[in-house]
Chain A
């Protein structure tokens, strides 16, 4: 507000400019803080073996370009990556274990494969190992496992969507109570902020473990756990944006006699909406990734499948699952980027 006239307010006793105190950009306390943080990081680097991490990584890099024979990291990871390929997409089941299989009317796309394996069996009389040819029949669905993974992935996505819905629904009241300028009472403010911090501090894996005890294995524990943890994020971000929103339009509507909820709707929501969309899409994205993880404790979705295959050393299946997760997250990223651009643009 350029104002040509001098200020009319009664000021402090004026001093000549030579005596003025110009505040320094930073003081000794800031310098000390930087120094202490540096020392703490050096101390911590030894505890978490940063030096060893760097040495091993360096060796792996040298081995890659052929300057070194081999490296521990390269060997371990290499074995694992090797095992992931080729991705398994077919489904095969032993016919002997499918008593109800009607050979004349096989399920669609499936075929029966016979595989002969030679085993050496010790003949107890001759004490010689003799070859025994065994043939096993398998019912093979050429992309059966892919379909199963897709189905699990859809379930995972559903868990993520419901978790996001729960997080948003919990966060809206928590954010209003937890915004300093809109809370009906300071006690409610403190309670809301504490609850939100608590929810955020509880890892979803742990929440899911507890919920599995109550709700049993399956997706309920999954989306409740992710929803509660997500509310710990959204409740904080939503509230902080309400507090930081431009006060001027809020004041304009307050001056017209509008109550707090109406001011929130008409003057705050339009300001915070783009950020809210961004946060919510981020939580959805995170929920898809985390839904894959919490399956590890039996809370439904693709994680449950992943854990099963990993425990059976079926790394080819693990590879397919990891690829499916990556593709889903990637696709979601594209969609949400477009959505954000449209809603914010």
Chain B
């Protein structure tokens, strides 16, 4: 229950991320986000749970502007997301991707350093010669995610999936992000490795006080690692609460084969705790 308590502590402080009435429609009529509203307090490990196509990726990508919204507002700290603040927000938000999104032909070192590609001076980026401070940090984060000096010159493609995701996490950590978006970070890994990677993600975020929005489709992993679970179905939030409250009924509401009522049962939403 320690985790739940931590989450509840967050309820008192100002929300770190807030989503208000997010809507995303695709041209074919699919509503990937259909009036999504919730807030995430600073330092929370918030799992977005739902099966494939429920809108998790769309939600996460709207935070750093990779997906545009048709309606609603996103706030991060005291910044409203807009074209003007997009750059500033992107520099504080890191992303860990489902398929790692590394430059496969580049070395592990280059991949981690590319986490500073927006910050380093332009000539350094173009020469590929990053400042000593960043190179030292790259080694430090690589060590933190469990990789070694021997991995530095290896091509990213030459690593195992789990190691590649460690590099992806190291890249995300390079500039000490405030928010980490993790879009199904373990969907292409086997269960044992998945647990290691999620534990790593949770621990490094906690050490840095970073807020994590992590999408998953496996209930057991969500229960194990989340401070809180936001359940999505067909672009709507149908559950919101600590893992302890994510019971069989909630799971059925999220995954049940039967056609869902368009609005979730009110008792499944725990909004007041996190607002």
A257 interface residue (CB < 8 Å to B): yes
Residue of B nearest to A256 (CB): B118
Contact B233 A8 (CB under 8 A): yes
Contact B64 A5 (CB under 8 A): no
B211 interface residue (CB < 8 Å to A): no
| Known A-B contacts A3-B217, A7-B52, A266-B114; A252 and B30 likewise in contact (beta carbons under 8 Å) | no
Give a binary string over A259-284; 1 marks a CB under 8 Å from any B CB, 0 the rest: 10111011100110110000000000
Residues of A within 8 A of B122 (CB): 261-262
Residue of A nearest to B30 (CB): A9
Binds B, one of A51-59, A93-101, A226-234, A243-251: A243-251
Residues of A within 8 A of B75 (CB): none
A219 CB to nearest chain B CB (Å)? 32
Contact of B101 among A252, A265, A266 (CB under 8 A): A252
Contact of A248 among B93, B97, B115, B126 (CB under 8 A): B97
Give a binary string over A4-17; 1 marks a CB under 8 Å from any B CB, 0 the rest: 01111110000000
B94 interface residue (CB < 8 Å to A): yes
B137 interface residue (CB < 8 Å to A): no
Contact B95 A255 (CB under 8 A): yes
A165 CB to nearest chain B CB (Å)? 19
Contact B66 A257 (CB under 8 A): no
A245 CB to nearest chain B CB (Å)? 10
A253 interface residue (CB < 8 Å to B): yes
Contact of B117 among A251, A262, A274 (CB under 8 A): A262
B110 interface residue (CB < 8 Å to A): yes
A254 interface residue (CB < 8 Å to B): yes
B91 interface residue (CB < 8 Å to A): yes
Contact B90 A9 (CB under 8 A): no
Residues of A133-167 at the interface with B, using a CB-CB cut-off of 8 Å, are none
Contact B52 A5 (CB under 8 A): yes
Residues of B70-104 at the interface with A, using a CB-CB cut-off of 8 Å, are 86-88, 90-91, 93-95, 97-104
Which of A251, A252, A271 is most buried by chain B, counting CB atoms within 10 A of its CB?
Answer: A252
Residues of B99-137 at the interface with A, using a CB-CB cut-off of 8 Å, are 99-106, 110, 114-115, 117-118, 122, 125-126, 128
Residues of B within 8 A of A265 (CB): 117, 125-126, 128
Residues of B within 8 A of A262 (CB): 117-118, 122, 125-126
Residues of A within 8 A of B98 (CB): 1
B153 interface residue (CB < 8 Å to A): no
Total A-B contacts with CB atoms under 8 angstroms apart: 105
Once the chains are docked, how many angstroms separate the CA of A10 from the CA of B234? 8
| Known A-B contacts A3-B187, A265-B125, A267-B114; A252 and B233 likewise in contact (beta carbons under 8 Å) | no
| Known A-B contacts A1-B187, A249-B101, A257-B118; A266 and B125 likewise in contact (beta carbons under 8 Å) | yes
Residues of B within 8 A of A10 (CB): 30, 234
Contact B117 A270 (CB under 8 A): no
A258 interface residue (CB < 8 Å to B): yes
Contact B91 A8 (CB under 8 A): no
Once the chains are docked, how many angstroms separate the CA of A32 from the CA of B259? 48
Residues of A within 8 A of B115 (CB): 256
Residue of A nearest to B89 (CB): A257
Contact A246 B104 (CB under 8 A): yes
B226 interface residue (CB < 8 Å to A): no
Once the chains are docked, how many angstroms separate the CA of A10 from the CA of B105? 38
Contact A248 B101 (CB under 8 A): yes
Residues of B within 8 A of A270 (CB): 103, 105-106, 110
Once the chains are docked, how many angstroms separate the CA of A251 from the CA of B100? 11
Residues of B within 8 A of A248 (CB): 97, 99-101
Which of A249, A261, A263 is most buried by chain B, counting CB atoms within 10 A of its CB?
Answer: A249
Residues of B within 8 A of A257 (CB): 86-88, 90-91, 118
| Known A-B contacts A256-B94, A256-B117; A8 and B51 likewise in contact (beta carbons under 8 Å) | yes
A10 CB to nearest chain B CB (Å)? 7
Residue of B nearest to A7 (CB): B53
A244 CB to nearest chain B CB (Å)? 14
Known: A248-B100, A252-B171. 10 other contacts (CB 8 A): A1-B188, A3-B217, A6-B257, A8-B51, A10-B234, A249-B114, A251-B66, A251-B101, A253-B117, A256-B94
Q: Which residues of A contact B (CB under 8 A)?
A: 1, 3, 5-10, 246, 248-249, 251-259, 261-263, 265-267, 270-271, 273-274
Can you report 25 A-B residue pairs in the complex whose CB atoms are below 8 A from each other?
A1-B98, A6-B51, A6-B257, A7-B53, A8-B50, A8-B233, A8-B234, A9-B30, A248-B99, A249-B101, A249-B103, A249-B114, A253-B118, A254-B66, A255-B66, A255-B93, A255-B94, A256-B115, A256-B117, A257-B86, A257-B90, A257-B91, A262-B118, A265-B126, A270-B103
Q: Which residues of B contact A (CB under 8 A)?
A: 30, 50-54, 64, 66, 86-88, 90-91, 93-95, 97-106, 110, 114-115, 117-118, 122, 125-126, 128, 168, 171, 175, 184, 187-188, 217, 233-234, 255, 257
